[in-house]
Structure 1
């Protein structure tokens, strides 16, 4: 508890190793096992797909420099929410938290949990697809378990993250090693004329970047727990600048391994490129790959839980700068990655996203700005805090 402001602050229990594991463990989910075929489908050639993977990692690394400055200047948890709040005020910060808490985080957790459940249930049904009810119940159980773990103990959640991060790194090293062996055996035909058939349309390139960037998603999650990092001015930049080059190199080597084992046509039609790779290269040991997907996705969901709750926490606590060239560059890149797929492939879903943002603005105006129904949630909030033993975000120190 901060005795000067009366606001609750979180304990600093995340060291450098845990910080690196949090970033790497959240980034490496199911994406690297599934996205490569889509990146290749959109750009049309092995060489172009490898450029997309490299450029995606480079963009995230450049963005990390901005987040290092933000995280060491604004030493509060909450990630994008608190940065927007401190620089632009309540309304854009509320829309950020509204989108994150009610749409982006839940949808991401649900999608990853369904992928996890699909791979958990698959071995019990042989060649058949697992029933939808089994997959959904397994996904719900994983969400419940991880929600309880993250609600009970920060140290337990970080230890689980560390264990699963090392497990998923081991599985990627297996794929990388297999690719190196194949290349030494002469499987290099897919790297000859590597750019033949490249598709250069803006919409296709934009969609390829979205697939690649999705696999890197989570690189910024450490900034959601800034208040819990020991010596954040030192460990935050170190963790980001260790994690991002490591993951970029791993992703590039994994894609090279995929291309050493399969033709572009096989990758595009595989449906699950890592599983296809495992069956071709590992033979009867191919079951290691589905297990790796389960471990990766479980760790990624845990990391999302661990960091996602901090946005809600900081937004509740608050009641809801960086210099020149890097932010400008990132703004241009971000706008381009958003606009290019809309121009190249307009869809009705984009309208739904815009309407959801408008609904958040309406909620803000009615409940926060004009304070309609003020005090309506006070009693339910106090009741839930007492029932769940949740500390209030502010305390009366008088």
Structure 2
């Protein structure tokens, strides 16, 4: 693969996803005030910056594109690395795709329902339908999937630009009444602040994605931290401007009650051109979901090839060379999450699980400072940074459970711990279930897939 030299633009692209069109209402609801919501937005940007800088050291220590899997393997050995690949396959990637597709459904349906909230069942059906469409695109051709990603990426920037310029125009007209008394009604609950971080951090999710392509970055020891230091503050400022823009045309209460805030913004500001907002956001979320499935299918493929998942998930289509079984497996789990979850519950579910592993990566960095002191570190962060991010990650995981435990946290914990039930017999001792060979052969014939080794011999 060609080296990725434009890392600053790549960082901005990774971070500016569909979250900014979903998170503002939930974050404002959980903080209770405009002022505290802005504090959380800034704190989320700072936390993402610190976490990304710590990841930059990890990424330059181990330049393989395995990210957390490689770091856990280096610091702790195979079982924690397996648990990460297990949780990523069964929890993180499917819930990520489910959230994005539900966002697509919200904005797609909202464009046609202006007088009331869109029916939840219709939103879910649209979300499942878009998963099927994206699955078809990714199973049909790798080139088609990457082309869709490249074309649809620009839509998110169009939507962001419309909101910021529109907000600037309204501020010039003097529409700043909703920005007065910013801290009135603030909720200071420990659990609410933590879950507000979940909502805000969802919009920033992607701060660690450059570590998945470290091998493709030219001179990563310089370009990786430089792109992080420039890209994340730029995104943070962009998100602050978007929230200010929303408040120039909507009251805080209107923002809290609207899950498609960009549509409401467009309806208030753009008049006959209001259709631009839902169109831009739906195109943006389609591209984000496509990229998520593209990466998730490869994660299934890589994990199963290492013996961490079913053999069939490491097979590829005999003519199209796409990892169809992994793509289908991931899409089925994502569809189930769409049908049984909501955007905000899934964000909590995703963030709770993700910050367990983000914290684990910080611990891996700290451990390797002592266990591998002589290993080359082309880029090195002050040790206080991973310690601080580790402490915050502990708070983000423990705080919501102590303050207000919900079933999503139990599900996430059981998924992670349940991985060891499979690891010990099937990975460590390599136990094979007799009837699974027959199931594998049946699925191989049905899906027209084969192991990569036999295809290229």
Same fold (TM over 0.5): yes
Residue 73 in 1 paired to residue 73 in 2? no
Is the 8 Å Cα contact of residues 147 and 305 (structure 1) preserved in structure 2?
yes
Q: Which residue of 2 aligns with 1:38?
A: 26
Q: How does 1:93-242 map to 2 (within 5 A)?
A: 93-121=81-109, 123=111, 138-147=126-135, 149-150=137-138, 157-229=145-217, 231-242=219-230
Distance 1:142 1:267 in 2: 26
For the residue of structure 2 that corresponds to 1:371, the secondary structure is coil
Q: Compared with structure 1, are the counterparts of its residues 133 and 54 closer, same or farther at alpha carbon in structure 2 (3 Å cutoff)?
A: closer
1:201-241 deviation digits (Å, cap 9, x = unpaired): 21221121111011111222232233444554455444434
Q: What corresponds to 2:422 in structure 1?
A: 363
- Give the TM-score normalised by the residue count of structure 1: 0.84
**Does the aligned pair in 1 maintain the 2:110–2:263 contact within 8 Å?**
no
Is 1:278–1:287's contact at 8 Å kept on the other side of the alignment?
Answer: yes
CA separation in 2, counterparts of 1:279 and 1:157?
Answer: 32
With structure 2 as the length reference, what TM-score do the two structures score? 0.74
Alignment map for 1:199-348 (pairs within 5 Å):
199-229=187-217, 231-320=219-308, 322=365, 323=369, 324-348=383-407
Q: Is the 8 A contact 2:101 2:127 kept in 1?
A: yes
Contact 2:106–2:260 (CA under 8 A) maintained in structure 1:
no
Q: Is the 8 A contact 2:4 2:217 kept in 1?
A: yes
Which residue of structure 2 lines up, in the alignment, with residue 5 of structure 1? none
Partner of 1:54: 42
Q: Which runs of 5+ in 1 are unaligned?
A: 1-11
Alignment length (residue pairs): 384
**Pairwise CA distance, 1:109:** 1.2
Relative contact order higher in (CA < 8 Å, ≥ 6 apart): 1
**1:110 deviation in Å?**
2.5
Which secondary structure does the structure 2 equivalent of 1:36 belong to?
A: helix
Please point out which of 431, 441, 453 is paired with 1:372: 431
Asked if the contact 2:11/2:210 (under 8 Å) is kept, the reply is yes
CA contact (8 A) 2:73 2:80 kept: yes
Partner Cα distance (2:91, 2:219) in 1: 32
How big is the shift at 1:49? 0.8
CA change 1:368–1:271 in 2 (3 A) is closer
Q: 1:358 to 1:246 in 2, by over 3 A?
A: same
Cα-Cα RMSD: 3.2
**1:323-353 Cα distance to aligned partner (Å, 9 max, x none):** 5222111111111111111122111332222
Residue 197 (structure 1) shift: 2.2
Tell me the equivalent position of 2:15.
27
Q: Which shifted more, 19-28 or 111-120?
A: 19-28
Deviations 1:8-52 (CA, angstroms, capped at 9, x unpaired): xxxx246234x5565544533332112112211121211111111
CA distance in 1, matches of 2:444, 2:155: 37
CA apart distance, 1:254: 0.2
